[in-house]
Amino acid sequence: MNTRTLEQTLDRANSDVVLIVDDVPDNLAVLHDALDESGYTVLVATRGEAALLRAAQALPDIILLDAMMPGMDGFEVARRLKADAATAHIPIVFMTGLTETEYLVAALNVGGVDYVTKPIKPKEVLARIAVHLQGAREKRQARNALDAFGYATITVRVSDGKLMWQTPLARELLQRYYGTVAPQTPDAVLGWLRRHLAAAEQQIEPPRLAIEQGAKRLTFRLHQQTGDDDWLIIMREESDETVIQAMSLGFKLTAREAEVLYWVVKGKTNRDIGDILGSSPMTVKKHLERVFVKLGVETRTAAAGMAMSRIRQLHPQFES
């Protein structure tokens, strides 16, 4: 069953999806029945490789993972799930008969959020699942709300530079501005994060990163640390098209004259502006001469100063 077909069969609107990974049929049966009776949609896997495939296909809301299995054990399954941007966000609750501290610590170190000990007590498992699903649901809703308001979020792991989580809007923006896809973090973003990490750890907000694409720019703001090595970054695409329109109306400029003046304000040369607008430097010069006449000025500096004064009256947040 491919990912699209499986997604269509899961009633996510009315039921959370739980993936149980255990090689013991009796354990699977007990947990399956308890979860099913409690209203969850239950998926199962009896081997590590099958668990990875099923997780990638279904993207369950939570995973119950047996620590000790033949072949690929639960610790390796968790490591691989957390290394994949598509599944890194899924909470993992380990099920283990190993109660020594070193094993429990290992379970948490590879990405587990909790553990339950065997023999499994269904009521305890249900209680733990409810707690972690609530937390995951709140995080998901918060991220989706940011997308709805034009913000996008990503989570980056500093040690290896992997992009561990991204909202749908973040995916689209990173592809458009950098041509990258998860788990790759754009080099410029990772470099910016690492340069300012020391300040961020002292809760000093670093300067924002911005990349321009025409009259639009994508800004990055370091929001908070979400784990020992993970950082949440908020992105937003901003556009100065309304600024260009305001200059056109305010100074009675044509649309192209307003664009030329906008890039003059941004400190671009005639050659730069020509490259941006797809015209020659000579054409840009002619547009600029008409702008000078309409503004009653003789120099680029005077034109830029008059434009900035008007822009900041209407758009105080504008940055030249």
pLDDT tens per residue, range 168-178: 889 899 999 99
DSSP for 87-109 reads: TTTS-EEEEES--SHHHHHHHHH
Helix (H, G, I), strand (E, B) or coil at 36: helix
5 exposed, middle or buried (CB, 10 Å; 0-12, 13-18, 19+)? exposed
Q: What pTM was estimated for this model as a whole? A: 0.52
Same fold, 150-239 and 241-314: no
* Per-residue exposure over 13-50, b if at least 16 CB sit within 10 Å of its own CB, e if not: eeebbbbbbbbeeebbebbbebbeebebbbbbbbbbee
pLDDT per residue over 69-84, tens digit each? Answer: 999 999 999 999 988 8
Query: What stretches of the chain show up as alpha helix (H) in DSSP?
Result: 3-9, 25-37, 48-58, 74-83, 101-109, 122-148, 168-178, 187-195, 197-201, 241-251, 255-265, 270-277, 281-295, 300-314
Question: Is 223:232 a contact under the CB 8 Å cutoff?
Answer: yes
Chain length of the chain = 320
**Binning pLDDT at 50, 70 and 90, where does residue 245 land?**
confident
Q: pLDDT digit string (tens) for 137-195?
A: 777 766 666 666 667 888 898 988 989 888 888 989 999 999 998 889 999 999 999 99
Say if CB 184 and CB 193 are below 8 A apart. Answer: no
Taking CA 30 as the corner, what is the angle to CA 138 and CA 51, rounded to the nearest 5 degrees?
60
Tokens representing 52 are: 């990875």
- The pair of structure tokens assigned to 313 is 């009256």
Domain 241-314 has CATH 1.10.10.10: yes
| DSSP class per residue in 249-263 | HHHT--HHHHHHHHH
Q: By three-state DSSP, how is residue 179 classified?
A: coil
Rounded CA-CA distance 235/153 in Å is 6
* Assigned architecture for domain 3-142: 3-Layer(aba) Sandwich (3.40)
Asked whether 287 and 273 are in contact (CB, 8 A), the reply is no
Q: What is the domain class of 150-239 according to CATH?
A: alpha beta
Task: Give backbone dihedrals phi and psi of 197, rounded to 5 degrees, phi first.
Answer: -65, -40
Where are the chain's structural domains? Answer: 3-142, 150-239, 241-314
